[in-house]
């Protein structure tokens, strides 16, 4: 290796890399801010313009777009040597480039004319050229690869496997970069772009999909998708789905909260004076379903909680942190996965359908709670309605939630009609000796008839929350007033298919 070209926006680690090159008598070509940074550090570098004998121009837009640069990157050793020599093209053995920060700047609401200047042209062109010729050129696009590169430089060169991996990573980077530009330009003055392009890294194969005969993988570097279990078996496809469901609800609850999920539906949700109390209350809503469930907690796990968790079978426990003593105690549950609750990662919801995808996003919205019944809910009922309404948002339709102000009491989900969900919740609660007396009820969509209300009232519910908007709202409201039920409309529906 005799020559490297360094041209980076993010200068993290670039000086260490350059010093390793100098130590091995590898010449450095550079330009602009990178060349300035190298010289200020006392590292010799030749300007690209000096090498090409062609000045930078157009405010730096044209500097590396030259045959002596691209010929040095694309020239095949042993094939193109004569033509390179004839045109005074030196082979470039290492290319280190990272790109103008278009993704970051596109989030700052800049005028298009200003944002356009953050679209890198020379960088992607050089990266693609070097990557195409990966057998002869090592291409670095990520500072996290510099330590490996420095070691390779010290020991005499990159292996073929390393160069192929770096080239693959480089093409992946330019693909993501072009996708960001495409999505932005396609989405100007539109809620959604005409062409929707995505890229997720960190792909890991899973044991199987929803069922053993199906194949699956997970992709992502942050949020739930990026989590690696602290202990236990490898996460499964269904584990990831259920953890996402549990965490999404848990993040919206106040104080000490526990959400227990089974098959993508909440089966127990509770608030408590402490985390242990909230867990026990949530588990006891439906202890049968809680067996083999996913548990999300809003605050750290200590030994008292660990002891209670270890008394049953939990597939996954996710919480902000675990004490050392709790970790040690839960090691005896060697198959139980422990995950750290990560910060939320707002993103579009994407589902595949035959021939394409559906994309959904939830912008900031305001609910307009209105008491529509003659009787207003009591303060305790209001608190219970708040909890029930949060839970019903994350339950599969048609969803009916019975709750008091600290816990769900009955959960009915996934039925083809709403009244069956109301009856199912009562039936499930009765199996564990729980009564609906004094509970409130939440419905994820409006009540088309008064039958659901009548079932809930007969079971002892005293207040109901729903979006409203049915052509029979007046009929349902009249029944609520007749039964003495307080009813609140929110104006927002929470279907979850």
What is the share, in percent, of the chain residues with pLDDT greater than 90?
Answer: 77
The gap from C-alpha 437 to its chain's centroid, in whole angstroms, comes to 40
Q: Which pLDDT band, with edges at 50, 70 and 90, does 122 fall under?
A: confident
Peptide bond into 398 cis (omega under 30): yes
Element (H, E) at 86: helix 81-86
User: 3-187 falls under which CATH superfamily?
Assistant: Methylglyoxal synthase-like domain (3.40.50.1380)
149-182 confidence digits (pLDDT tens): 999 999 988 999 999 999 999 999 999 999 999 9
Q: 11, 24, 46, 132: which one is catalytic?
A: 132
Section 288-305 average pLDDT: 96
**Pairing between β-strand 440-443 and β-strand 463-466 as defined by DSSP bridges:** parallel
CATH 3.40.50.1380 in the chain, residue ranges: 3-187
Q: Delimit the CATH 3.40.140.20 region(s) of the chain.
A: 228-340, 370-489
Distance between CA atoms of residues 82 and 324, nearest Å: 65
Q: How far is CA 222 from the centre of its chain?
A: 6
CATH architecture of 228-340: 3-Layer(aba) Sandwich (3.40)
Please tell me which residue in 11, 24, 244, 263 is annotated as part of the active site. Answer: 263
Query: By the 8 A CB rule, do 471 and 493 touch?
Result: no
Query: What's the confidence (pLDDT) of residue 401?
Result: 97
Question: Do the beta carbons of residue 442 and residue 400 sit within 8 Å?
Answer: yes
pLDDT tier for residue 257 given thresholds of 50, 70 and 90: very high
**Catalytic (active site) residue 132:** yes
Q: 84 falls in which pLDDT band (50, 70, 90)? A: confident
Going by CATH, does the domain composed of 370-489 fall within 3.40.30.120?
Answer: no
């Amino acid at each position: 290796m005799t020559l490297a070209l360094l041209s980076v926006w993010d200068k993290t680690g670039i000086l260490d890399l350059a010093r390793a090159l100098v130590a091995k008598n590898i010449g450095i070509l550079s330009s602009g801010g990178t060349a300035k940074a190298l010289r200020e550090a006392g590292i010799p570098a030749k300007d690209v313009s000096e090498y090409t004998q062609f000045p930078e121009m157009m405010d730096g837009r044209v500097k590396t777009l030259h045959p002596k640069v691209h010929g040095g990157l694309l020239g095949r050793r042993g094939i193109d040597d004569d033509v390179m020599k004839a045109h005074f093209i030196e082979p470039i053995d290492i290319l280190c480039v990272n790109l103008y920060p278009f993704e970051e700047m596109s989030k700052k609401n800049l005028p298009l004319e200003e944002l356009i200047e953050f679209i890198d042209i020379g960088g992607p062109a050089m990266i693609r050229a070097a990557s195409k010729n990966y057998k002869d050129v090592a291409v670095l696009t990520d500072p996290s690869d510099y330590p490996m590169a420095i070691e390779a430089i010290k020991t005499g060169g990159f292996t073929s496997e390393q160069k192929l991996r770096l080239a693959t990573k480089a093409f992946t980077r330019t693909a993501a970069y072009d996708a960001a530009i495409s999505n932005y330009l396609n989405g100007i003055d539109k809620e959604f772009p005409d062409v929707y392009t995505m890229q997720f890294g960190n792909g890991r194969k899973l044991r199987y999909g929803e069922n053993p005969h199906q194949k699956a993988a997970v992709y992502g570097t942050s949020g739930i998708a990026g989590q690696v279990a602290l202990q236990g078996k490898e996460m499964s496809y269904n584990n990831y789905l259920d953890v996402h469901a549990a965490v999404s609800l848990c993040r919206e609850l106040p104080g000490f909260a526990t959400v227990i999920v089974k098959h993508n539906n909440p089966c127990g949700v509770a608030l408590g004076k402490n985390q242990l109390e909230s867990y026990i209350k949530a588990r006891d809503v439906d202890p049968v379903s809680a067996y083999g469930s996913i548990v999300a907690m809003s605050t750290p796990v200590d030994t008292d909680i660990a002891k209670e968790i270890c008394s049953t079978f939990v597939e996954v426990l996710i919480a902000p942190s675990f004490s050392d003593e709790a970790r040690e105690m839960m090691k005896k549950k060697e198959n139980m996965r422990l995950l750290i609750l990560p910060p939320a990662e707002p993103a579009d919801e994407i589902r595949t359908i035959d021939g394409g995808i559906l994309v959904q996003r939830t912008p900031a919205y305001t609910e307009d709670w209105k008491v529509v019944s003659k009787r207003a809910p009591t303060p305790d009922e209001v608190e219970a309605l708040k909890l029930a309404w949060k839970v019903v948002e994350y339950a599969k339709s048609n969803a009916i939630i019975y709750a008091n102000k600290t816990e769900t009491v009955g959960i009915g989900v996934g039925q083809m009609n709403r009244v069956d969900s109301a009856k199912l919740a009562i039936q499930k609660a009765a199996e564990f000796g729980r009564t609906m007396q004094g509970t409130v009820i939440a419905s994820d969509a409006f009540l088309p008839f008064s039958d659901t209300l009548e079932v809930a009232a007969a079971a002892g519910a005293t207040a109901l929350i729903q979006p409203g908007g049915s052509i029979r709202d007046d009929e349902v409201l009249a029944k609520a007033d007749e039964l003495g039920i307080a009813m609140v409309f929110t104006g927002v529906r929470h279907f979850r298919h």
